Amino acid sequence: MTRKYLIAGNWKLNAGGPNGVELAGAVAQATREVAPNVELVVAPPFTALAAVAHELEEKRVEVAGQNLYPKDSGAFTGEISAPMLLEAGCRWVILGHSERRQLFGETDALVHDKVAAAMRAGLCPIACIGETLEEREANRTLEVVFRQLDAFSAELNKRPGYGVIAYEPVWAIGTGKVATPEQAQEVHAAIRKRLNDLNPTLAQGTRILYGGSVKADNASVLLACPDIDGALVGGASLDAEGFAKIAKAAPR
């Protein structure tokens, strides 16, 4: 099964309002020549979603939320549901990002519920997993990554090939310390093998993105690895040209 590459930009708490619309327009412009085997997604802050989705109508760049709450509606002040993201023009949602896990106390169980809610609503989850530096140094990388993965993999298996996994070593996020292609490929291959134990079709169809300080100058060696199917890009996604260069680094 051939998997298309997916390059997703996580804008985090940046580029809201008019800045977001301007950035989205620039991304659409800069990525026009990206090869057809690459899908493109940007994840603006909630308040910019509808305007960015409007700006990207008829363009190849799609829109993601950065989070959701697993309930569809009700007394959950400050939260946004999967149906609301769909209404705002999203087709995707980033879930379980390490910043959500570390700063906002998200547990594996909550990430499971969020993945399930996204899949139920028809929103494609980009579910993030990854170890901290301390865990890597204690040789616990796969134990941690498998625990996080096992929490939601049965949900992904309900529609094999639909949901996406992002392996993001926490020590590489926003630090400029990128995993070597060998380090990344080793974990990606282990994740795919774990999925294979559940269902070979799931393993073959699921895109596993790498995330952690991906930039235009390191993207091609990472994307050339057999089990790396794209990138989740933070800081470098705020520069339209740099984001486009990452997308153009995907092998054809």
CB of 90 to ligand PEP, least distance (A): 17
Q: With contact defined as beta carbons under 8 Å apart, do 86 and 115 qualify?
A: no
- Looking at the DSSP bridge assignments, the partners of residue 164 are 126, 207
Q: Which is nearer to ligand PEP, 12 or 248 (CB)?
A: 12
Asked if 96 interacts with ligand PEP (CB under 6 A), we say no
| CA gap 11, 234 in Å, rounded | 6
Q: Which is nearer to ligand PEP, 18 or 174 (CB)?
A: 174
Instruction: Considering the candidates 97, 106, 112, 188, report the single residue annotated as catalytic.
Output: 97
CB of 236 to ligand PEP, least distance (A): 6
Q: Which is nearer to ligand PEP, 10 or 153 (CB)?
A: 10
Choose which of 20, 125, 235, 242 interacts with ligand PEP (CB under 6 A): 235
Specify whether 97 is catalytic.
Answer: yes
| CA gap 99, 60 in Å, rounded | 28
Within 13 Å, how many C-alpha atoms sit on residue 155's CB side? 28
Query: How crowded is residue 70: how many other Cβ atoms within 10 Å of its Cβ?
Result: 19
Site string for ligand PEP, 4-23 (x = CB under 6 A): ------x-------------
Choose which of 232, 238, 240, 250 interacts with ligand PEP (CB under 6 A): 232
Residues 6+ apart with CB under 8 A from 101: 107, 111
Q: Which is nearer to ligand PEP, 119 or 232 (CB)?
A: 232
| DSSP H helices in the chain | 17-30, 49-55, 82-87, 98-103, 108-121, 133-137, 141-150, 153-156, 181-198, 200-205, 219-223, 240-248
Q: With contact defined as beta carbons under 8 Å apart, do 22 and 182 qualify?
A: no
Choose which of 82, 214, 238, 246 interacts with ligand PEP (CB under 6 A): 214
Looking at residues 142 to 171 of the shown chain, list those that interact with ligand PEP (rule: CB under 6 A).
168
Among 52-60, 117-125, 195-203, 210-218, which window interacts with ligand PEP (CB under 6 A)?
210-218
Residues that bind ligand PEP (CB under 6 A): 10, 168, 173-174, 211-214, 232-236
Residues serving a catalytic function are 97, 168
